A and B are shown apart, each in its own frame.
Chain A
């Protein structure tokens, strides 16, 4: 089974600043990686797939990069609605697996 590890577990950022979130896979998932945003008390929302393709409705300030085992989600200028928990998910191998999440908090 592939294990997904996200870092840091939490990140304090001021509005308008840049946030960089990392996701590492225990073996290559090629570019079969998705990112989700989860607001408190809500369902996850698909942000990115294919490591770097924005899902419908995802603002351009979100960008994804990486391949193989190392991936990054960057939020270029944090808006109030971006403070949430972010999860990565690999879909290259069964079973599908999620990372433990990164909580982006207001500094």
Chain B
């Protein structure tokens, strides 16, 4: 059974960079796209972007200028960096596996809350 676990700081100061890691266990990172999504408190889900094992990425147009997603196949990990954060970036951040052939998400991490505050 594939399991995903997000990790990283729970508090980030405004204008700084949010950095998170997702560790995948119970399966290989190879052959799949891996995504980051987020959910502001009390709100809906937002797709941030995804990465393939080759490093190929797709990003949401609304976040493209500030986001970078990468993958480390040797560690079975993917990473998220979001620069110049503001309070609007406060959210639960999820990593998820995109289905091999189509763009829905079949495995999710539990999520990690990141608060942007000074």
A91 to B94, CA, bound (A): 18
Asked if residues B110 and A42 are in contact (CB atoms below 8 Å), the reply is yes
How many residues on the A side are at the interface (Cβ–Cβ under 8 A)? Answer: 22
A-side contacts of B99, CB under 8 Å: 49
Q: Is B102 an interface residue (CB 8 A)?
A: yes
Q: Is A87 an interface residue (CB 8 A)?
A: yes
Asked if residues B44 and A43 are in contact (CB atoms below 8 Å), the reply is no
Asked if residues A96 and B44 are in contact (CB atoms below 8 Å), the reply is no
Ranked nearest first, the 10 interchain pairs of A and B with the lowest CB-CB distance are A91-B103, A43-B108, A34-B104, A98-B45, A96-B47, A100-B44, A95-B60, A101-B44, A49-B104, A91-B104
B-side contacts of A46, CB under 8 Å: 104-106
- Our pick among B44, B103, B104, B109 for the contact of A99 (Cβ within 8 Å) is B44
A83 to B98, CA, bound (A): 26
Residues of B bordering A, CB below 8 Å: 44-47, 58, 60-62, 94, 96, 99, 102-106, 108-111
A99 to B44, CA, bound (A): 7
Q: Mark A57-77, 1 if CB is under 8 A from B, else 0.
A: 000000000000000000000
